Amino acid sequence: MKTRFFAPLFALLSLTAFAQKSPDLALTPPMGWNSWNTFGTDINEQLVMEIADAFVNLGLRDAGYTYLVLDDGWMAKERDENNQLVPDPEKFPNGIKPVIDYVHAQGLKFGIYNCAGATTCAGYPGSRGFEYQDALQYAKWGVDFLKYDWCDTENLNAKGAYQTMRDALSATGRPILFSICEWGDNDPWKWGEEMGHMWRVTGDIINCWDCKVGHGTWSSLGVWPIIKLRKDIRKYSGPGHWNDFDMMEVGNGMSAAEDRVHFAMWCMLASPLIMGNDLRSASTETIKTLTNPEVIAVNQDKLGIQAYCHSDEGDLEIWAKPLADGEWAFAIVNMSTEEETLNYDWNRHPVKDDLSGRALEAYKKTYEIRDLFNSKNLGSTQKQLSAKIAGHDVLMLRLRPQ
């Protein structure tokens, strides 16, 4: 009798006590594509299928990109009579499930978007008060990734709101990567590891090197303002929980060199690599940058240490990232628009990362140097490294102990 009375209580308690984010997801930074940067709410079934095809045909899937994420605008403006979310019938005339099945059939995973508030940022139904119902719906559809935004959240506590959705996802029993998107407003890096697998660190990105565009209460930031604003939160990022520097703008209008810098830096910072361009019309150059296996390997390094700015030599900024097995990655970025010459004597520049305790002492140990964008060996740290780096371009290196 007693046991019968207490059993449901125990079940409930254990569910709450053991609710956690899906384990073992995102042990390296997630890689994929998101519709927002290029398409906004102008998304539909055909677009998703064509993007899925492009993942396969352009070699993006084989390069490691896995998640195809549909952002805001996929829903009808109202829930149905049972309060279920409904895909917009014009954009998705066959519902969302066949689209997800198609994405899965290409060997990819599917991500969806909603918001912790009552409405999403584009004015569609949000999940506030419907968290468990919506999570269950996503799991039934076969969703693998949820990006969860922060509009219309007056009086909500951020940590609590993300915890509710985390628990709702956990209760479905389906592994679903949880992407926290509250723009860095409530220091998500301080509580995000427990709640999700990645968290946005700023407001929205915009496709420029160094600009800021104001929108009243918030500003979109170019590539460098984002990096500079959040370079100091590196200790919070690591396997299973990443600082998310936002969807990439590679292929969206910057020069090819600037795109290389942007991509190199997202790899160095161990940011999720979520493409934000129209893959169907991407140039060969853009795809070459996005699929460079040696550059991606830096991002996917299993230690997951976010790079730091080691030094600057005039206009050349030198970023360093300790990698597994005693290796290092360096990105030497030309911040000026003119060509610069690098003359770098490794013996005179000991490199020490206080966070990881790792040191590169070229006077004690020799490292082989590899130029990652040009797939070329550049000799060893025994001799001075001399290179010309074009304006707003990058020399990205991998150093391997001999």
Strand ordering across the sheet containing 31-34 = 242-244, 198-200, 177-180, 145-149, 109-115, 67-69, 31-34, 273-275
The three-class DSSP label of residue 209 is coil
Near ligand GAL by CB under 6 A: residue from 35, 54, 71, 230: 71
- For the CA atoms of 171, 177, 179, 180, the dihedral, rounded to the nearest 10 degrees, stands at 30
Residues 6+ apart with CB under 8 A from 361: 350
| Piece in contact with ligand GAL (CB under 6 A), picked from 21-29, 117-125, 233-241, 317-325 | 117-125
- Kindly state whether residue 149 participates in binding ligand GAL, applying the rule CB under 6 A: yes
Beta strands in 225-366 (DSSP E): 242-244, 273-275, 308-313, 316-322, 328-334, 340-344, 351-353, 358-360
What is the DSSP code string of 350-372? -EEETTTTEEE-TTTS-EEEEET
Contact 205, 247 (CB under 8 A): yes
Which one from 71, 204, 259, 353 is the annotated catalytic residue?
A: 204
Near ligand GAL by CB under 6 A: residue from 25, 122, 156, 342: 122
Site track for ligand GAL across 15-54, x = CB under 6 A: ---------------------x------------------
CB-CB neighbours of 249 under 10 Å: 23
With CA atoms as reference, report the closest residue to 277 among 288, 268, 287, 269: 287
Near ligand GAL by CB under 6 A: residue from 88, 131, 167, 204: 204
Residues 6+ apart with CB under 8 A from 211: 221, 222, 225
Which one from 149, 167, 278, 393 is the annotated catalytic residue?
A: 149
| Piece in contact with ligand GAL (CB under 6 A), picked from 1-9, 80-88, 119-127, 334-342 | 119-127
204 is catalytic: yes
- Kindly state whether residue 121 participates in binding ligand GAL, applying the rule CB under 6 A: yes
**Which residue, 112 or 307, is less far from ligand GAL as judged by CB?**
112
**Which residue, 204 or 317, is less far from ligand GAL as judged by CB?**
204
Work out how close the CB of 60 gets to ligand GAL at its nearest, in angstroms, rounded to a whole number. 20
Beta bridge partners of 399: 328, 369
With CA atoms as reference, report the closest residue to 230 among 179, 277, 271: 271
**Which residue, 39 or 132, is less far from ligand GAL as judged by CB?**
39
| Piece in contact with ligand GAL (CB under 6 A), picked from 81-89, 113-121, 185-193, 391-399 | 113-121
**Which residue, 71 or 301, is less far from ligand GAL as judged by CB?**
71
In whole angstroms, give the CA distance from residue 129 to residue 137: 14
Near ligand GAL by CB under 6 A: residue from 72, 249, 327, 340: 72
How does DSSP classify residue 305?
Answer: P
Footprint on residues 231-290 left by ligand GAL (CB under 6 A): none
Footprint on residues 177-196 left by ligand GAL (CB under 6 A): 181, 183
- Kindly state whether residue 146 participates in binding ligand GAL, applying the rule CB under 6 A: no
Number of residues that bind ligand GAL (CB under 6 A): 12
Residue keyed to tokens 């390296």 = 28
Q: Which residues bind ligand GAL (CB under 6 A)?
A: 36, 71-72, 113, 120-122, 149, 151, 181, 183, 204
Query: Which residue numbers are catalytic?
Result: 149, 204
